[in-house]
A and B are shown apart, each in its own frame.
Chain A
């Protein structure tokens, strides 16, 4: 019965109001077009109207008004609920940045896309925007990395902020994601993007310190391709390497850009210093290899 209902409504008749609070983090973009706005009245309401339609009197009017009011109330209620959920989310986000910072992040030692041993020390003094993914990721990682690139450009373009963020991609699939794979992959997204890989052990360690869960399917035959299940946040880390904030899939590029700017602006207001470039040693090593 359920199945037959689905078929009848392959294109949904009822428009969903904003879904933000209910959408799970990993929920991908809808495949079917959700039409927005009001839809046809439900069966019950229609039946009521037609039974009263014989007499055009106050009763007809009352039923009609009640239906309209019901719909209106429902949408108002829904809107209120979403607003409350948003406010709560914002409050929690604020709370996490003001006190009780979670212990996310930490030292790491990995290999960059040019084959150079790279540690967290190399990025000290600048903000980091870190995303965990894998190069064979079907759609979520590339979308998120495109979003990260958009955020980078937006933040960089702000004269108050400038070039203060190093974007970093860390693979959760070190077995397949060799230096060459990562090198090719990061070029697809942003010229500043640094791609890191390492041994399974090194990756597992950094993922753990960032509270990133990832898992490869248990049985993979040689030559068979597979997907890696992983959590999909990106992390904003302060110039001293400490955690500032994290962003989920349902945060838009505009939202993330604004939030990142706010964090950096506050840091600067308090006299915080940020390096305009990655430190010299790293840059010279990188260019000598890629030259």
Chain B
């Protein structure tokens, strides 16, 4: 069986790699435009050429999946960042209080 087999419908390694490449290019463009969700109306007017390459280069189910995942990932990261920032603020306050107490003691 050769790669030109008519029966085979799934994307080949090269198809996959091309899809990831055009996806990354499109998402990079969205990043630069500060747009997270490709399904939102504000995404319709930017990066149109890259978007059409992306939608041509990847199966529809993949496009849907990558788009949803992009949104989820940003939300997850955002949550994590906020948690870390809070954690840090608490630590800093505690450290500052300890430092102040020490300074008072030695004064």
Q: Are B92 and A62 in contact (CB-based, < 8 A)?
A: no
Chain A CB within 8 A of B45 CB: no
CA A79 – CA B80 in complex, angstroms?
16
Chain B CB within 8 A of A225 CB: yes
Q: Are A181 and B87 in contact (CB-based, < 8 A)?
A: no
Q: Which residues of B contact A62 (CB under 8 A)?
A: 99-100, 103
Chain A residues 54-95 with CB under 8 Å of chain B are 58, 62-63, 65-67, 69-71, 73-74, 77
How many A-B pairs fall under 8 Å by CB? 126
Q: Are A6 and B61 in contact (CB-based, < 8 A)?
A: no
Q: Are B92 and A67 in contact (CB-based, < 8 A)?
A: yes
Chain B CB within 8 A of A234 CB: no
Q: Knowing A73-B91, A139-B16 touch, does A6 contact B96 (C-beta < 8 A)?
A: no
Q: Are A70 and B96 in contact (CB-based, < 8 A)?
A: yes
Q: Knowing A14-B84, A42-B85 touch, does A2 contact B12 (C-beta < 8 A)?
A: no
CA A106 – CA B63 in complex, angstroms?
36
Number of interface residues of B (CB under 8 A): 49
Q: Are A66 and B73 in contact (CB-based, < 8 A)?
A: no
Q: Which residues of B contact A9 (CB under 8 A)?
A: 78, 81
Question: Smallest Cβ distance from A132 to chain B, in angstroms?
Answer: 16
Q: Given contacts A14-B85, A67-B96, A138-B62, could you give 15 more A-B pairs where the C-beta distance is less than 8 Å?
A: A6-B78, A7-B36, A10-B31, A32-B77, A34-B77, A44-B89, A73-B91, A73-B95, A135-B10, A138-B16, A138-B65, A180-B1, A180-B8, A181-B9, A181-B10
Q: Can you sample 11 A-B contacts with CB below 8 Å?
A: A6-B78, A12-B77, A22-B80, A44-B89, A63-B96, A71-B88, A74-B87, A135-B10, A138-B62, A183-B1, A188-B13
In the A-B complex, list the 10 residue pairs whose CB atoms are closest, starting with the nearest. Answer: A70-B92, A135-B10, A70-B95, A66-B96, A180-B7, A138-B62, A7-B34, A66-B99, A184-B8, A225-B61
